Chain A
Amino acid sequence: MIRTPLRPLARVIAARAEGDDPDVIEQTNIRERRRIEEGRVLARTRTRLWMLGGLFSICFAMIGFQMVALAVSQPEEPKARVQGTSILANRSDILDRNGRVLATNMETYSLYAHPQDVVDPVEAALSLAEIFPDIDPVQMAARLSGPQKFMWIKRSISPEQQQAVHDIGDPGLLFGPREMRLYPNGQLAGHVLGGASFGVEGTHSAEVVGTAGVEKAFDTYLRDPKFGGQPLQLSLDLTVQAGLEDVLFGGMRLMNAKAASAVLMDVHTGEIISLVSLPDFDPNLRPTPLTEGDRSDDPLFNRAVQGLYEFGSTYKLFTTAQAIELGLVNPGTMVSTAGPMRVGGHEIEDFSDYGPQMTVEKVLVKSSNIGTVHLANQIGTERQKAFLDRLGLMTPTPIELIEGPTGRPQTPDPWRDIHRATISYGHGMSTTQVHMAAAYASIVNGGTRVTPTLLRQDQTVQGARVISPETSRQVTAMLRKVVTEGTASYGEVPGYAVGGKTGTADKPNPRGGYYDDKVLSSFASVFPSHDPQYVLIVTLDEPEVFAFGEDRRTAGWTAVPVAAEVIRRIAPLLGVRPTVEPDTEPGVVLTAN
């Protein structure tokens, strides 16, 4: 580049020659040079500004494009999921105590229609009616031709039915994946499991919600994905449940009873190993509840948990145990059994005349009402109420079934002397079978309170003390004598040393009073009585059997043989080995020093 000098010599000489100031030339040149420089800087700045503007425009355009792309595109799950599969985990399974499946899920399909897409509504309706016999073709054709845009046809269908609907080939008939609850064992433990149905439904999935039993009681747990599909393990034993249901059903038929129920409980943990209520139902096809008539005739009615009954003489154990615990009597104390006896204007009688007096043990073994009332009179009302409360007989059981709280015991208010007397032998107060099982377990397990539960327990939690271990041992030995010498002689099962107490209660008439020929017979048993492990309560509703020339309804003739057969069947399944009963009577008796 050729730079123009600020003071060109020729012009300076010429200016000097003319007498001008040569500095003017220099200043002019400086100005010119600055002008050129400024022009160059301006051009460069302008270029930079343009480039910067272009860059920003490109950035804005890119961001804008990305925003539009995000706004218009379909949302999709991020691919990089850590626990992608756990989302697919659905309602948890329910298992028995040995891990066998009681309730699980099954993938199936629902059938729905878009009536506007149906090509031939009449033909489609006829074909559907052939596949599903409960569909009315005329009604279905009308619905398929209607203005509706969407309609459900079937909530869940089998693969065969799905194929048949596919074969119709109508584009308006569509399938949605659906998960249904399956109870593979059918009716077994139906009352405990309850059942499930669909909650909120969409075409792609539906919520399965529990409707009764443990399904409803544990609905939140079973549905919560937080637990990752961890199964719910119950205390029930499937094999024992099957054996018990089998024998009880046979017994019910044999004894001409209209219904039967049974509860089998572990005396140490309070776990319910089996709970049966007959007639029963299949939770896969849960029937609709009865809207009229006696509620207890409904197969859905859980007699063992919801049924409140007077259990009759089985209550005598509580009175006897309390009298011994309070030190008022011992098993050998003589008690008056002279009758008839009058309390509060009511007459109390025995089944037969037992003479003027008997030992406390005999009162229980022979089941004397009068003798038991004498014991209750010694105990007193307040102590009686407090003891029954300690056994858990005054409040609903905490059993984990949605129906549990409905089994609220019915007790008299006020609790008069006549109530004290009748309750001592099991009349005038209604409880459930689960109450009875827990109370018997509390008495025979060494005397600590047992809380009934349907969940498998891995360790024993010792409850509050109800009676002393010594009293527990004494009354359990008395229960054994009821079988060997008393009213429950048909309850003997060799090798299992069954002990128990019978109870026959007249059924209350809804019109007032009691029926003469309808009873509820129960047998509360414990086995083996020298080392109690299980309590079994069997109840038959309105049994009647013809034996030795007359109709017999008492528990000794009805509930006891059924319970004995149950124990014969299930004790080996429970792993209880038959044992030779230790001799309870002392071999040598000290008569004098």
Chain B
Amino acid sequence: MKSVIVAFVILCTVGLAVWSYSEINTSKETLDEIAELNADIARSKSRLRKLNAEWAYQNRPERLAALALEKFEHLELTVLSRDHFVPLDQVPFANVYAAEPPLAPITTPVEIMNRGAAQ
């Protein structure tokens, strides 16, 4: 009887050792994955900041004013003045929605997040 118990304990120990070894490996893999994801998030954040800065730079009032002047022939943008205010009921809204059928629902979404992040 004693030897059966001893054999059982030894088997249990071996089993636990194998299980804990595999758990350690799994956790290491998960940690690596998290580290990679964190680095990815950091890269995306940094890229987002860069794009925001770029956006702000491209949309600086000085540049927009210069562009409006340059493209005046096509866009006819002028400085906002008091003549541009009218009561809402005087705004001629085109009834665009009545003529066109509603758009079909999107069934094949495309993941575009982080596309081109490597560039």
Contact = CB atoms under 8 A, between A and B. Distances in A.
A185 B62 contact: yes
B53 A106 contact: yes
B45 A79 contact: no
A101 interface: yes
Contacts of B60: 184-186, 188
A571 interface: yes
Interface in B66-94: 79-82, 84-85
Contacts of B57: 182, 184
B114 interface: no
B31 A104 contact: no
A183 to B, nearest CB: 9
A100 B56 contact: yes
A569 B52 contact: no
Contacts of A356: none
A242 B62 contact: yes
B82 A495 contact: yes
A79 B46 contact: no
B7 interface: no
Contacts of B45: 85, 88-89
Given A79-B34, A239-B61, A572 B53 contact: no
Q: How large is the interface on A (under 10, 10 to 19, 20 to 34, 35 or more residues)?
A: 20 to 34
B32 interface: yes
A127 interface: no
A106 B50 contact: yes
Q: Secondary structure of the B side of the interface?
A: helix
Nearest to A573: B80
Q: Secondary structure of the A side of the interface?
A: mixed
Given A79-B32, A188-B61, A101 B42 contact: no
A578 B85 contact: yes
B61 A242 contact: yes
Contacts of A494: 82
Residue from the set B41, B57, B61, B80 with the largest chain A CB neighbour count within 10 Å: B61
A184 B49 CA distance: 12
A101 B62 contact: no
A88 B81 contact: no
A80 B33 CA distance: 10
A568 B82 contact: yes
A100 B35 CA distance: 33
B31 A79 contact: yes
A180 to B, nearest CB: 11
21 contacts: A79-B32, A79-B34, A79-B35, A81-B38, A84-B41, A84-B42, A85-B38, A85-B45, A88-B42, A89-B45, A104-B49, A106-B50, A107-B46, A185-B56, A185-B60, A186-B62, A188-B60, A246-B65, A568-B82, A572-B82, A578-B85
Given A100-B59, A101-B52, 7 more contacts: A79-B32, A79-B35, A84-B42, A104-B53, A568-B81, A578-B82, A578-B85
Which 3 A-B pairs give the minimum distances between C-beta atoms? A242-B61, A101-B56, A184-B56
Interface of A: 79-81, 84-85, 88-89, 93, 100-101, 104-107, 182, 184-186, 188, 238-239, 242-243, 246, 494-496, 568-569, 571-573, 577-578
